Amino acid sequence: MKLNNPFVTTGYVSPDYFCDRENESGQILEAIHSHRNLALISMRRMGKTGLLKHVGFLLNIQHENKALIYIDLMPTQSASDLLSTLGTALLHARHKEKNILEKIVAALSSLRPGFTYDSLTGQPSLVFNVATENDFNLGLRQLLALFITMRKELTIVLDEFQQVLEYPESRIENLLRPIVQENPQITFIFSGSDKHMMETMFSNPTRPFFQSVELMYLGPIVTENYLEFIKNHFNAAGFDISDTTILQLLEWCRYHTYYVQHFCNRLFAKSFLKINEENTNQLCLEILASYEPLYLTYRKLLTTHQFALIQAIAVENGVSKPLSGNFIKKHDLKSPSSVKTSLVALTGKEMLIRSNNTWQVYDVFFARWLEHTWKRLNL
């Protein structure tokens, strides 16, 4: 498929529009070939889902007998939802099995399977009703057994896996662990954005999944490779852009994949034949203006102190010692204890994130807007 704009901002299209991640794809493929389960962790919007879909694409062209099934747990809210999502994925997966629907319905008849149609796509989905732990155990075992009839080797990706912790069923991890172990011919990849929750699930000795998977952290795309990718796509369309301009935009987007893609998508849409710094600066302002109504509501939702703290962190472009006297004094943040309280609140709202020992505003464009509004008033 050829796209009018090569900078994709939702989903995965094809390797042509996917930048680098060669090492990471290789690492995941190797784990799959060696039947090792993986947990993939990164900040939101860094590229986990894209990477996993890319791996699925590569696996599909390299191996006839291997398949990757992608399950997004983000919208699920219960064990019933998890089974329904898996059942629906099985229904839509490519397999030799005829009458797959009849087989699923027969195998899971005790869970009173029903049917709904997605109001947007019109695609049919399956719905199961799980009332007890036993229902869940039985349903999951039956579904996996049907999955195994599809291909010799199967990888199941459970994306945004930390979502299972939000289910009302408190023992879901205990139920999943033995079933994962019973199915060595299925490689499981658990992917998640909540570093703390994911690490607790997989590295805490008291938890069922303790040391059962290999942890893999996904960082930003290697700068030189991203630069090449961006330059090549602009040049292929006949647009000229210098390395310096690209490096500046990467820096402004904090090398965070989604923000870089979004920026480049908008820049490409402008069809400038020769892109200069003035064009990119103008676009920065345009982006901030387009998000301003949203950011003003964020401000309303925060206390005065929380807003002052998040703005201070944005102005400093990340802070490693937010409790230090210098930082507190420079930004009028009262006391270390009030900063501590606001840090906890803002982290809980996922507005701040601590990464590599530095506190950052999670949403890059919000950070740039905070910085911009501060400078407008203070410089």
Ligand X SMILES: Nc1ncnc2c1ncn2[C@@H]1O[C@H](COP(=O)(O)OP(=O)(O)O)[C@@H](O)[C@H]1O
**From the CB of 73, what's the least distance to Mg ion, in Å?**
10
Cα 58 to Cα 276: distance, rounded to the nearest angstrom: 37
- Smaller CB separation from ligand X, 327 or 362: 362
Choose from ligand X, Mg ion, none: what does 47 bind? Cβ within 5-8 Å by kind. Answer: ligand X
103 binds ligand X (CB under 6 A): no
CB 192 within 8 A of CB 160: yes
> Three-state SS for 331?
coil
Count, in order, helices (H) and strands (E) of the chain: 15, 11
**From the CB of 262, what's the least distance to ligand X, in Å?**
8
What is the distance between the terminal CA atoms of the chain, rounded to a whole angstrom?
48
- Smaller CB separation from ligand X, 157 or 343: 157
49 binds ligand X (CB under 6 A): yes
Choose from Mg ion, ligand X, none: what does 365 bind? Cβ within 5-8 Å by kind. Answer: none
- Binding flags for ligand X, 210-249, as an x/- string (CB under 6 A): -----------x----------------------------
Helices assigned H by DSSP within 151-216: 172-182, 195-203
CB 258 within 8 A of CB 222: no
Site for ligand X in 14-43 (CB under 6 A): 18-21, 42
Site for ligand X in 149-188 (CB under 6 A): none
8 binds ligand X (CB under 6 A): yes
Q: 357: Cβ–Cβ under 8 A, 6 or more apart, which residues? A: 320
Residue recorded with tokens 């893609």: 261
Q: Given candidates 257, 306, 342, 373, which one binds ligand X under the rule CB under 6 A?
A: 257
Choose from ligand X, Mg ion, none: what does 267 bind? Cβ within 5-8 Å by kind. Answer: none
The alpha carbon of 226 is separated from its chain's Cα centroid by a whole number of angstroms, namely 19
Q: Which of 207, 246, 195 is nearest to 350 (CA)?
A: 195
Span near ligand X by CB under 6 A; candidates 46-54, 118-126, 320-328, 363-371: 46-54
* Chain position whose Cβ is nearest to Mg ion: 49
**From the CB of 43, what's the least distance to Mg ion, in Å?**
10
**From the CB of 181, what's the least distance to ligand X, in Å?**
27
Question: Which two structure tokens, joined as six digits, stand for 147?
Answer: 């999955």
Cα 357 to Cα 322: distance, rounded to the nearest angstrom: 11
- Smaller CB separation from ligand X, 54 or 66: 54
Site for ligand X in 184-213 (CB under 6 A): 193
Q: Which of 296, 285, 301 is nearest to 375 (CA)?
A: 285
